[in-house]
Amino acid sequence: MIAGTTKVFCVIGDPIEHSLSPAMHNAAFRHLGLDAVFVAFRVDRKNLEHAVKGIRSLGIAGVNVTMPHKTAIISYLDELNKEAEFVGAVNTVLNAEGKLVGFNTDGIGAVRALKESGLTLKGKKIVLIGAGGAGKAIAFQLAQEACELRILNRDGEKAKQLAAKLERKFNTKILGNSLSQATLKECIKDADVLINATSVGMQPNHNQTPVDRELLKPGLTVMDIVYNPVETRLIREAKSAGANVVYGTEMLIFQGAASFEIWWKTPAPVDVMRKALSDKLCRGGA
């Protein structure tokens, strides 16, 4: 029941009606009997500063941040954690007794989704497609996992710069190159894991895939960060080629779980969040 003591959490973005965060977090709150509620606010660009002032003045306990505010919100926060700082984007804010701290849980969510699928990352050869916000966040985590990382991006310079920055930071060898069927073929040849961190294949372009079907093979684990549609063409073709797959919804669940854990400092009820997400998707969310 909502009462005078109820803690308020929210997601801000524009558009926001299709956000899956309220369903996941409210289910988690209910399951654990927490006196809290999670709501969605549509905030347009010009009102972002006011919205952050509102978070402070209303004492909103925690916030998820989505498009188009993930980078712009940084200038209104008091502190960033190391992931948010590196990526230059925030998807989670903790209101720590008036101090607003920004986090980025996208990379943490992706890596946890891979590990929870049963994969050990140490020593694995990983091909990451995409060096945008999500790609950077995932690369930042993978660079700390003692795996062999190869980053490919349509704009090759971005991949090279990201690889060089991570190499300096973590004193490890990372390849960065432009994305083409030739570079993909070369990189996938002996790879264990392939991750699509681009928007290719997302609705309404669900007929697109970043990787030709003939490059997919048994023994490869393919993760797609796209979750709309849940079964992307890449995931479908990976399955039919005998590869293992990790759905974008898993990354979504684990980035949400990581936000939950930042706010509550207690393990998130992941299965409850997964069920809430799948119920919502069945009813036509996202």
Which residues belong to the active site?
A: 70
Interaction of residue 270 with ligand ATR, rule CB under 6 A: no
**How many C-beta neighbours within 10 Å does residue 42 have?**
14
Among 44, 78, 79, 155, binds ligand ATR (CB under 6 A): 155
Q: Closest CB to ligand ATR among 109 and 130?
A: 130
CA angle 259, 260, 265 (to 5 degrees): 110
* Choices 110-118, 132-140, 246-254, 272-280 (CB under 6 A): range interacting with ligand ATR: 132-140
Strand 148-153's sheet: what is its strand order?
Answer: 174-178, 148-153, 125-129, 193-196, 221-224, 244-246
Q: Closest CB to ligand ATR among 26 and 196?
A: 196
Give the integer Cα–Cα distance in Å for 260 and 282.
23
Interaction of residue 154 with ligand ATR, rule CB under 6 A: yes
Interaction of residue 109 with ligand ATR, rule CB under 6 A: no
Interaction of residue 131 with ligand ATR, rule CB under 6 A: yes
CA quadruple 208, 118, 262, 2: dihedral sign? positive
Interaction of residue 139 with ligand ATR, rule CB under 6 A: no
As measured in angstroms, the least distance from the Cβ of 133 to ligand ATR is: 3
Q: Which of residues 192-211 bind ligand ATR (CB under 6 A)?
A: 198-200
Cβ atoms of residues 18 and 66 within 8 Å: no
As measured in angstroms, the least distance from the Cβ of 71 to ligand ATR is: 9
Interaction of residue 158 with ligand ATR, rule CB under 6 A: yes
Give the integer Cα–Cα distance in Å for 52 and 138.
27
**How many C-beta neighbours within 10 Å does residue 273 have?**
25
